[in-house]
A and B are shown apart, each in its own frame.
Chain A
Amino acid sequence: MTSLDATNERLRALCDAAEISGARDEAPLGALRSAGREAFRTTGLPHTKLEEWRYTHLAPLSNLTLELPIAEAPVDRALVEALATPVFACGLAVFANGRPRNELFGLPTGDVELLPLSAGSPVLGSLVDVKLHPFAALNAALLDDGVIVRIPAGAQVEHPIHLVFVSSSPQASLISSPRVVIEAGAGSHAIVVQDHVSVAGGRPHVTNAVTEVRVGENAHLELAVLQREDDSDIHIANLAVHLERDSRFASHVVTLGGRLIRNDLTAVLAGAGADCTMHGLYVGTGERLIDNHTLVDHAVPNGTSRELYKGILADDSRGVFRGRVVVRPDAQKTDASQQNPNLLLSDGTEIDTKPQLEIYADDVKCSHGSAIGRIDEEALFYLRARGIGAREARALLTRGFAAEILAALPGQPLGEALTADFVARFATGAEQ
Chain B
Amino acid sequence: MTQSTQTEIELLAEKEYEYGFVTDVEQERIPKGLSEETVRLISAKKEEPEWLLEWRLKAYRRFLQMLAEENEPTWANVTFPKIDYQDMYYYAAPKPRDELESLDDVDPEIRATYDKLGIPLAEQERLAGVKIAVDAVFDSVSVATTYKAELEKQGIIFGSFSEAVKQHPELIRKYLGSVVPYSDNFYAALNSAVFSDGSFAYVPKGVRCPMELSTYFRINAQETGQFERTLIIAEEGAYVSYLEGCTAPMRDENQLHAAVVELVALDDAEIKYSTVQNWYPGDKDGKGGIYNFVTKRGACRGRRSKISWTQVETGSAITWKYPSCILQGDDSVGEFYSVALTNNMQQADTGTKMIHIGKNTKSTIISKGISAGRGQQSYRGLVRIGPKAHGARNYSQCDSLLLGDQCGAHTFPYLEVKNASSTVEHEATTSKIGEDQLFYCMQRGLSEEDAISMIVNGFCREVLRELPMEFAVEAQKLLGISLEGAVG
Task: Tell me, in angstroms, the Cα distance from A359 to B422 when the chains sit together.
Answer: 31
Chain A residue with the shortest CB-CB distance to B1: A363
Cβ contact within 8 Å between B410 and A358: yes
B397-439 residues with Cβ-Cβ distance < 8 A to A are 400, 402-432
Complex alpha-carbon distance, A357 and B412, angstroms: 7
Smallest Cβ distance from B416 to chain A, in angstroms? 5
Judged by a CB distance under 8 angstroms, whether A362 is at the interface is yes
Please, how many angstroms separate the alpha-carbon atoms of A341 and B319 in the complex?
31
B75 at the interface (CB under 8 A from A): yes
Main SS of the interface on chain A? strand
Chain A nearest CB, measured from B173 CB (Å): 36
CB distance from A318 to the nearest CB of B (A): 9
Q: Are A344 and B420 in contact, with the CB atoms below 8 A?
A: yes
Question: Is the Cβ of A369 less than 8 Å from the Cβ of B432?
Answer: no
Binds B, one of A229-237, A290-298, A347-355: A347-355
Which positions in B face A, CB cutoff 8 Å?
75, 387, 400, 402-432
With A352-B414, A359-B400, A363-B405 known, 14 other A-B pairs at CB within 8 A are A344-B417, A347-B420, A347-B421, A353-B414, A353-B415, A354-B414, A354-B415, A355-B413, A359-B409, A359-B430, A365-B431, A366-B431, A368-B426, A374-B421
Say whether A361 faces chain B, with CB atoms less than 8 Å apart. Answer: yes
- Check B417–A369 contact: CB distance below 8 A: no
User: In whole angstroms, how far apart are the Cα atoms of A183 and B275 in the complex?
Assistant: 56
B420 x A367 contact (CB < 8 A): no
Chain A residue, CB-CB nearest to B402: A362
How many residues of chain A are within 8 Å of chain B by beta carbon? 36
**Which residues of the other chain, A, contact B416 by a CB distance below 8 angstroms?**
55, 350-352
Asked if A112 CB lies within 8 Å of chain B CBs, one says: no
> A362 — which chain B residues lie within 8 A by C-beta?
402-405, 407, 432
Chain A: CB-nearest residue to B427:
A369
User: Can you report 7 A-B residue pairs in the complex whose CB atoms are below 8 A from each other?
Assistant: A332-B405, A346-B420, A352-B417, A359-B409, A364-B431, A367-B430, A368-B411
B400: chain A residues at CB < 8 Å are 359
Q: A51-B75, A369-B428 are in contact. Are A358 and B415 (CB under 8 A)?
A: no
* A361 contact set on B, CB distance < 8 A: 405
Of all chain A residues, the one with the shortest Cβ separation from B434 is A365
Q: How far is the CB of A380 from chain B (nearest CB, A)?
A: 14
- In angstroms, Cα B407 to Cα A29, docked, is 43
Give every chain A residue within 8 A of B418 (Cβ-Cβ). Answer: 349-350
Instruction: Give chain A nearest CB distance to B63 CB in angstroms.
Output: 22
Contact of A359 among B408, B412, B427 (CB under 8 A): B408
Q: Nearest chain A CB to B12's CB is how many angstroms away?
A: 14
Q: Which 7 A-B pairs have the closest CB atoms?
A: A344-B420, A362-B402, A372-B424, A357-B411, A367-B429, A373-B423, A370-B426
A positions within 8 Å CB-CB of B: 51, 55, 313, 329, 332, 342, 344-347, 349-374
Please give the distance in Å from A325's CB to the nearest CB on chain B.
Answer: 9
Q: How far is the CA of A91 from the CA of B407 in the complex (A)?
A: 49
In the docked arrangement, what's the CA distance between A199 and B427, Å?
A: 42
Please state if B423 and A372 are interface contacts (CB–CB under 8 Å): yes
CA–CA, A362 to B415, complex, Å?
27
CA of A364 to CA of B423, assembled, Å: 30
- CB neighbours (8 Å) of A342 from chain B are 417
A369 to B413, CA, bound (A): 10
List the B side residues contacting A329 at CB < 8 Å: 405-406
Residues of B near A373 (CB, < 8 A) are 422-425
Q: A358-B408, A360-B408, A366-B431 are in contact. Are A371 and B414 (CB under 8 A)?
A: no
Closest chain-B Cβ to A295's Cβ sits at a distance in Å of 14
Pick the residue among B420, B426, B428 that contacts A371 (CB under 8 A).
B426
Contacts of B415 in A (CB 8 A): 351-354, 370, 372
CB proximity of B7 to chain A, nearest CB, Å: 17
User: In whole angstroms, what is the CA distance A362 to B387 when docked?
Assistant: 40
B34 to chain A, nearest CB (A): 29
Whether the pair B432, A371 counts as a contact (CB closer than 8 A) is no
Cα–Cα distance between A352 and B383 once the two chains are bound (Å):
10
In the complex, which residue of chain B has the Cβ closest to the Cβ of A322? B414
> How far apart are the CA atoms of A360 and B427 in the complex, in Å?
19
Chain A contacts of B432 at CB under 8 A?
A: 362-364
Q: Return the chain B residue nearest A343 by Cβ.
A: B420
Which one, B75, B404, B420, B428, contacts A368 given CB within 8 A?
Answer: B428
Residues of B within 8 A of A364 (CB): 402, 430-432
In the bound assembly, the distance between CA atoms of A343 and B301 in angstroms comes to 30
Q: In the complex, A356 Cα to B414 Cα: how many Å?
A: 9
